[in-house]
Structure 1
Amino acid sequence: MQQQIAESTAQTVYLAILGRPATPGELDLWSARITTPSARYMTKKLMKSEEYRQSGADASDKSFVQAVIFNLFDREADASETASWLDVKSARDLGNGGLFRAMLAEAKDSDIEARDAKLSLAQYATDAARDGRYMPEDRIPPAGAVWPRMRRQS
């Protein structure tokens, strides 16, 4: 059970911050180390990665809020929701990692359902990569691929 919680935490951070499932090696690395402090450390490390910078989520606080909502909850954030989360960040004096945790803790039921569905798909993709049935990264997927790379369309 503890391992399942650790894997779910790692997948959640990967989906929210990088917009993709963890590779098998990444999942093994982080889930072996997951506790509340190391989940925070993991979030900070991923937010300093080149992959994160290239996603554009670090362009502004607004971009961060919109990316997390899209990556985790599979929907666009409207202007009032984005403004509300920016107000929360300011009022509580949160960094982006703290804001991410607040967004998870205060998610609506429909967003929790969407997140859980995305976590199931992310775990499937990671397991398929581990078994050699799926090759993630930037390869062009074959027609009908199960898991396209998750990127926000601009």
Structure 2
Amino acid sequence: MTRFAVAAIVILSVAGVALGRQNHFGNPCYLCDCFVEYTDRDQALASVPYKIALNGYDTTEDQCLAMCLNDQDCKAAVYAYVGGRNVFSCELYDEVNTGNPIYTPYANIYLKRVATCRKPTSHLKPIEMVAGDESVIQRKQKYIRLEQKLNPFHHGRK
């Protein structure tokens, strides 16, 4: 076999694995119609989630929303690309606090609609969740501090 043939086989096998895996990028949101979405927003500072995805990076947006749909206590979910060690975050909230949402790029708040969602979620694998804690407040405080800083490249804003 030539080097070109071996390289082509490796590339095709890697592409086949990537296509079969659910990923974060490029897949349209399947369950977003079941929620009211606030883009680039996070829950207010005082809000602490009651559940957080244990491994946020391997969690897709649809898996996060399915967890919220299937949990009776869940009223809202936050799915975010937050940076640092927790690259992706999936948080479930048992109360809705949209009075003072925090501007957070790449974070979305999803509020459950009053009507029941008729889309099936059985094809989405469940994610392992852990109890929420105060570490979420530290992440939110970081974005509040960044919002208050002077940004010379953003004309018309502070």
Please identify the structure whose Cα radius of gyration is greater.
2
Is the helix fraction higher in 1 or 2? Answer: 1
Greater strand proportion: 2
TM-score by length of 1: 0.23
